[in-house]
Amino acid sequence: MNIIIGSDHGGFELKEICRKFVETRGHCRITDAGTFSEDSMDYPRVAHKVSRAVSEGEYARGILICGTGIGMSVVANRYAGVRACLCHNLFTARLSREHNDANILVMGGRVIGRGIAIEMVDLFLSTPFEGGRHKLRLNLIETD
């Protein structure tokens, strides 16, 4: 599975932890879209890069991390076919995949602890979409 990850300065430290975790999973290839330091930067720049790549099918899934995750999720969900879910715990990370077929996991680097973040990424990458009634509901979201 091809994954793209990105953050702003507020999510940089957690991004690095999550990126290294994904690299240990032999079946995933991960691309780092930046940022590459804790220097202040504008989160929409990275959010657009990751979201566009997922929307265009270049990557199966994405991970975005900013201070709270709110800004990144606002940007990401502007893209056709992107279902970015801001998650704060294991329950929401699992259901983002099972019920919403999320293709971008969004987290807050100033909100989520390291251990939980790694477990959330693991769930996000390994949990299948249930389909069925959830697919019918997702179809109601799509617009022309």
Alpha helix locations (H) across 25-129?
43-55, 70-76, 90-98, 114-126
Which of these is catalytic: 18, 66, 85, 87? 66
User: Residue 108: beta bridge partners?
Assistant: 66
Q: Which of 58, 89, 86, 88 is nearest to 72 (CA)?
A: 86
Q: Are strands 84-86 and 29-32 parallel, antiparallel or unpaired?
A: unpaired
Which of these is catalytic: 9, 48, 88, 99? 99
* 87 assigned to active site: no
* 66 assigned to active site: yes
Specify the amino acid at residue 27.
H
The values of phi and psi at residue 66, to 5°, are -130, -165
Catalytic residues: 66, 99
